[in-house]
Amino acid sequence: MNNLKNYQTRTVGQAQIPALGLGTWQSTDDDCIEVVSQALQMGYEHIDTAQAYHNETQVGAGIKKSGVARDRFFLTTKIFPDDMRFEPDNLVKSVHDSLDKLDVEYVDLLLLHWPDARVPLSETMPALAEMQHQGLTRNIGVSNFNINLLLEAQKYSDVPIATNQVEFHPFIRQHTLQTFLYNHHIPLTAYSPLARGDVFDNDTIKAIADKHNINRAQVSLAWILSDQNRIAIPKTSTPSHLQSNLDALKVQLDKEDIEAINKLARSNGRMIEHPDYTPEWDD
């Protein structure tokens, strides 16, 4: 990918991943087309989707409608372990299906959406790496992996793991995983960075927002981005929120703000429903 103008990126291997992107989970139909188009036109350089979101066609239509050149943004999709689609014989077809729906020749990042013990990483990781060697994706990564699974994934991949995309926001404990990712130079990509809206009701976050004359979503996003090993992909379908979230890149929280938000993490902070084969979390 070339020609990025975003002044905040995260580097892993040869990848330059824009630190703030647009998440599209639960974005559907014409709303998805419009929000992707508007986001790219207003300067977003990172779009995140997945096969399991059932909106790759709409994301592709939004990309086309935006008129923004393909080399001006970073595009991520994910393969979900539905009907054993991670099997190597099926993976190439699955990736081509995503590229056809997105109407692109390649994605910048291809993730395994969930680990699935029914399909060994000894098979899926080499197959995923082969997608990079073939140029169908520029980078590969994983999502919802714990440390043990990350170590196993690294063992079977001959290319770097560009990110681990996990639920992350001020109320979730992820210290052990974050430390591992930092030590292994793997960025953490935060999905649900606004905690399904819970950041809007928290007194600590409200006080910090008032202090800096910003909104509460910007506080949460700026806190995530204050760590150079973290990426955030907030989802919104409201144009004004698109700009507001993008402006979080300009917010500088002070040390006291960050320490106050760090104290909000709790053991029951997870908010996203997970499949039955979810791994045991590290924190």
- Domain membership of residue 106 (yes or no) is yes
Average pLDDT over residues 251-270: 92
Residue 6, pLDDT > 60, answer no
Quote the domain boundaries for residue 64: 15-162
- Domain membership of residue 167 (yes or no) is no
Instruction: Kindly report the CATH number assigned to the domain that includes residue 109.
Output: 3.20.20.100
The binding site for substrate comprises 113
Residue 1, pLDDT > 60, answer no
Average pLDDT over residues 8-30: 89
* Residue 191 bridge partners (DSSP): 167
Average pLDDT over residues 148-176: 95
pLDDT digits (tens, 9 = 90+) for 81-127: 654 455 666 888 889 999 999 999 999 999 998 888 778 888 889 98
138 pLDDT band, cuts 50/70/90, is very high
pTM score = 0.93
User: Residue 275 in contact with residue 172, Cβ under 8 Å?
Assistant: no
pLDDT digits (tens, 9 = 90+) for 40-63: 999 999 999 999 999 999 999 999
- Cα separation, 281 vs 149, whole angstroms: 10
- Cα separation, 16 vs 203, whole angstroms: 35
- Domain membership of residue 53 (yes or no) is yes
- Domain membership of residue 63 (yes or no) is yes
- Domain membership of residue 1 (yes or no) is no
Q: What angle do CA 141, 142, 143 make, to 5 degrees?
A: 140
Positions marked catalytic: 53
Q: Report the largest interatomic distance among the alpha carbons of the chain, rounded to a whole angstrom.
A: 55
- Domain membership of residue 202 (yes or no) is no
User: Picking from 94-98, 161-165, 276-280, which range would have the lowest pLDDT averaged per residue?
Assistant: 276-280
Number of domains in the chain: 1
- Domain membership of residue 271 (yes or no) is no
Residue 277, pLDDT > 70, answer no
- Domain membership of residue 121 (yes or no) is yes
